[in-house]
């Protein structure tokens, strides 16, 4: 296969721990050809969705802590997305309007015969915080609103809650409001922009001290290990970007139930790769843009997550 990655600039990636690089390495090991393009290099001309794409190869034995882990094999070319065997969307958030436009272009490309994973429509239609509303039976009590009085009432009812923006990533903008939080009103005013921005509130889950678990679904099958992202002492956020420590562990019976249930409900929606965030017994987010944790799970358990993804992509791309 010739696989095109829509991705951030390669020199900016931390290849030694980057899940997209793990995907590339697994695909290259299975004999596939790789090209890359940037989000800004997607375009439509005369109705055809195209990309300014660069063919690359991975350097054998390269130090992934350095930048020389790949090399270009040809000058950039303008090519239709439908000419690739698979297009893998791995541009990291923020999920701004440029990202939305890209999902539209990817959707148009699919109509022209391109095979895109995750699909543009699927990424756009599964906002990572809001998608848990499909899993209310598996989630802690949750409220999505910009109404200050509703948020205050939710806090009064549950006493200890987490509030967060709908478009945040890496733990940014997350606050814990305990029963006696003197800054509650100020926090809510800031997050909602005085009632003009919708946010999410969830009942606090004490099991966060044991980790915010990332469970990966690949081709509707759960990876048998998750990564528990354990917060620093005094923190309520387990995100690795917020200093959390990642510990791989086998899926528990409850983890597997959540994963299988989610896979069944999301099946057939164009989602080859999904990252479920689970705290204790509850799913808290459904990540579909560029789920990570491939490298940490592989290094700590020996289970090759990248290879599982590569095989799933081969099956999905036909």
- Weakest-pLDDT range from 18-22, 134-138, 210-214, 230-234: 230-234
Which CATH architecture is the domain 141-204 placed in? 2-Layer Sandwich (3.30)
Is the bond preceding 295 in cis, omega lying within 30 degrees of 0? Answer: no
Q: What percent of the chain has pLDDT over 70?
A: 97
pLDDT higher than 80, residue 160: yes
Exposed, middle or buried, 195 (CB in 10 Å: 0-12/13-18/19+)? middle
pLDDT higher than 60, residue 242: no
pLDDT higher than 80, residue 118: yes
HSE-CB at 254 with a 13 A cutoff on CA atoms is 10
pLDDT tens sequence across 295-313? 999 999 999 999 999 999 9
Residues 16, 18, 19, 21, CA torsion sign: negative
pLDDT tens sequence across 205-224? 999 999 999 999 999 999 99
Contact by Cβ (8 Å): 49, 109: yes
Q: Give the pLDDT band of residue 235 (cuts 50, 70, 90).
A: low
Looking at residue 207, its pLDDT comes to: 94
Whole-structure pTM value: 0.92
Report which of 190, 141, 194, 195 is spatially closest to residue 168, judged by C-alpha positions. 190
Which residues make up the CATH 3.30.1490.20 domain(s) of the chain?
141-204
Cα separation, 225 vs 202, in Å, equals: 26
User: Where is pLDDT greater, at 83 or 243?
Assistant: 83
Cα separation, 173 vs 176, in Å, equals: 10
Looking at residue 95, its pLDDT comes to: 87
pLDDT tens sequence across 270-287? 999 999 999 999 999 999
Contact by Cβ (8 Å): 192, 185: no
Report the CATH fold assignment for 2-124.
Rossmann fold (3.40.50)
Q: 70-87: b or e for each residue (b if 16 or more CB lie within 10 Å)?
A: beeeeeeeebbbbbbbbb
Q: Give the pLDDT band of residue 240 (cuts 50, 70, 90).
A: low
Looking at residue 236, its pLDDT comes to: 63
Q: Which positions are annotated as active-site residues?
A: 129, 164, 214, 229, 237, 277, 285, 287
Read off the pLDDT of each residue in 5-17 and give the average, rounded to a whole number.
Answer: 97
Report the CATH fold assignment for 207-313.
D-amino Acid Aminotransferase; Chain A, domain 1 (3.30.470)
Q: Give the pLDDT band of residue 231 (cuts 50, 70, 90).
A: confident
Looking at residue 171, its pLDDT comes to: 74
Contact by Cβ (8 Å): 24, 34: yes
Which residues make up the CATH 3.30.470.20 domain(s) of the chain?
207-313
Looking at residue 67, its pLDDT comes to: 87
pLDDT higher than 70, residue 237: no
């Amino acid at each position: 296969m010739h696989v095109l990655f829509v991705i951030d600039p390669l020199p900016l990636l931390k290849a030694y721990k980057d899940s997209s690089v793990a995907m590339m390495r697994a695909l290259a090991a299975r004999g596939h050809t790789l090209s890359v393009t940037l989000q800004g290099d997607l375009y439509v001309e005369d109705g055809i969705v195209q990309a300014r794409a660069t063919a690359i190869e991975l350097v054998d034995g390269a130090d992934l802590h350095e930048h020389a882990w790949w090399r270009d094999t040809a000058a950039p070319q303008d090519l239709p997305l439908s000419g690739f065997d698979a297009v893998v969307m791995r541009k990291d958030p923020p999920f701004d309007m440029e990202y939305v436009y890209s999902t539209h272009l990817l959707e148009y490309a699919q109509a022209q015969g391109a095979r895109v994973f995750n699909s543009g429509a699927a990424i756009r239609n599964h906002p990572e915080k809001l998608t848990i509303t499909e899993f209310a039976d598996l989630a802690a009590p949750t409220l999505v609103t910009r109404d200050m009085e509703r948020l205050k009432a939710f806090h009064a009812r549950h006493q200890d809650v987490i509030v967060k923006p709908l478009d945040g990533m890496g733990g940014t903008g997350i606050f814990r409001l305990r029963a006696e939080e003197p800054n509650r009103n100020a926090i809510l005013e800031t997050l909602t922009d005085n009632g003009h921005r919708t946010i999410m509130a969830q009942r606090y889950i004490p099991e966060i001290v044991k980790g915010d678990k990332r469970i990966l679904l690949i081709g509707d099958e759960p990876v048998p290990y998750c990564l528990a992202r354990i917060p620093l002492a005094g923190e309520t956020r387990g995100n690795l970007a917020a200093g959390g420590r990642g510990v791989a562990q086998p899926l528990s019976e409850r983890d597997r139930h959540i994963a299988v249930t989610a896979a069944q409900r999301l099946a057939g929606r164009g989602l080859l790769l999904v990252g479920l965030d689970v705290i204790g017994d509850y799913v808290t987010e459904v990540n579909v843009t560029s789920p990570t944790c491939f490298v940490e799970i592989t290094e700590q358990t020996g289970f090759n997550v990248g290879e599982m993804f590569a095989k799933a992509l081969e099956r999905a791309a036909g």
